[in-house]
Structure 1
C-alpha cells in the first residue's frame, strides 16, 4: 500500500512539475519571444499585437484616486516604480529601485492555470561598494503573484508592498533574497500628482500612443538594508513612486525612452521623458510638481533634454551617462551624471536604471532610466 501511495505521489508531483515548466515556457515565449533585429526586447514587450483587443487609453477616462490604485486587467500593461535615495547614519548613500510589472499575453479573462497575466518584479540596491540585484517572474491565477486593495497589497512570491489601508501609503516594501534584503517604510509628505491631461499622458506627437499615470513624488523613506554578510543598516531619505498602465505603450517605430526623476528639493520634483523614434525627432515632455499641490505640465517648447556624453559598459553597450536638462521658464539648468555607471539590468525587460546627481541651478539627486540601447 505504501509503495502505491509513493508511486501516486511521485506521479502527481511530476505532472505538476511538467505543467509548471510547460506553462512558464509558453508564457515566456508568448510574451518575450519572437524578437527581431528591428526592435529591442523592451519595445517588443510593450507593443500590442493586432489580433488582441485590450482597452484603449483615452483622454476622456480621467485617473481617479483611490479607485485607480487597483489593477486594471482590461489593459495590457500595468507598471509600478519605486525609487529611493537614502543615507545611513554615517552619510553613506544608497539607491534602491523596485519595479512591479504586469503584462497580459492575450485579452482573455480566464482563471487558474489559464490566466493570461504574467508578473515580473526586480529589486536593486546600489552603493559605492557595488550593485545587488535580483528578479522574480510569476504567472497569474495561482496565487504566486497578484494584488488586493482592501488592504492594499502587491506581491510576487515572498516579495511585497503592503499597507493597512486602501492606498499604498503608509506602505512597507519587504523584499528578501539569498544575498540581500530591503525593508523600507514610506509615508507621503506631499500630495499625489496626476500628470498630463487628468492622468492621460501622450507619448507621441502624431500617433495616439499614451498611458494613464499617477505619481507619489513626495515620500519620506525609512528602514533597513542588508547586503551579504554585513549587519543590517538603518537608512532614511527621499522616495518616489509611480504607477502607469495602458495597452501598447510604444508605437511600432519607437526605439525606447529616456526618463529622469529629480528631487530638486524637499518642495519640488521634476520628471522628464524623451521617447525616441526610428524616423522622427524624439518626443520630449515633463512634469514639475510642488509640495503645495501645483502640477505644471512641460512641453517640448518649454524644456530641453540633450546628451552631453556617453560611456561604454562592460557588457559592450554604450549609453548616454551625462545630460543637460533645461527649463528656462522656471530657472532650471541641470547637468546630470550617473552615480554608478555599471547599472545595466540584464533582466527579462533589460534597461539601464540608477542614481543620478546634478550640478548647476540645483545640486540634487534622482534616478535615470534608459531603454532601447
Structure 2
C-alpha cells in the first residue's frame, strides 16, 4: 500500500532517545527547553514565547482558553479545518462561525473572513491549508486594525513563509503539530507561540496544572517549603517531554532534507499529471511564499472524486480528502449561510500520497493510476476556471 503519510525516523532519533534514557530524566526538562529554543530560532522568535506541548490539539485548546471567551463570543474559522479547532472554540465557551474559502487553495481571503464578522466576533483562527500560507498578511493587518485576536493553525506549515516571514508569527497566537503524519514528527507533540510576554507566562503556567512554581527538586533549592502549592487558577497537564523533544530536535535538523524531497515529489506530480484535462492541480504559490508541502491535492468534476478514490484504494494507493467542511457538522450547528467555495472544494478535492519515503517510481505509479482511474470514468473535462 502506498500511504498518504509516512513518518521518517531512524538511527539518529533512536540515538537521541537512548541519550534521554541514559540521563534518566524523561519528563519536561532540559531537552524540552532546548527544543523550544531551536524551534523559536527556526521561526524567528524568542524562546520564552514558545512552549512545547503534548499535542497540537493541546495548543489549540490552550490558545482559545487564553482568549477568555464569554457566552456569545464568536470565533471565525475556515470551514475546511480540522475538527480540533472548532472543538477548542466550543470548549473554551465560544461559538465557532465558519467562513468560506477559495475553492482552489482552500484558504480564506481577508474578504471571506470579513463577510463572517459580527459585533460578537472576538477572534479569528486561520489554517494554512496543506502548508500554503494564503492571505495571511492582509488577514493579520485587518485583525490588528479591528482589535481581533488572530490565532494561526500551523499544523500543516512547519516551514511555510510569506515574504520571508514564518507563518505563525503574523498573529497573536499560533500552534504547530508534530503528530506522526506531520512533516516534522515527535510521534505526538506540538508547539505553541504566544506573542504577548505576560500571556506567554500564563500559558506556561496553565500547561502545568496552573502552578506558579513546580513543587519538585528544582524548587527545593529556592524554597524551604517546596511542597506547598501556589495555584492562582486551575490548569491541565499539557507539556511535552524530553523523550519526544529529543526526537523533535533531530527532526528539526533533518527538516531541510525533508522539505527538499517533498518539493521534488510535488514537481514530479506536476510533470506527470500535466495535460490531464480532467484534473486541476494545486495552484502556484504567490510570489514570496514558500510551502511546507504537507498536502498535494488535485480536483476533478463533482461526483467523480469518490469513485476515483475507491479505484485507487483497490489499486493499493491510499488517498483522502482533508478537511471536511465543519459548517456541515451537526455538533457545530448547520444553520449558517451556504459556503460555496468550501462546499465545492469538499466535492472535488483529493489529497495524494506525499512524504519523503516515496520514490520516484512510487510517484509515477500514483500519477499513472490516477490518470487511468479518471479516464476509465469517461467524465467531462474541467475548464480552467473549474
TM-score normalised according to structure 1 size: 0.27
Q: Which has the higher contact order (CA 8 A, sep 6+)?
A: 2
TM-score normalised according to structure 2 size: 0.26
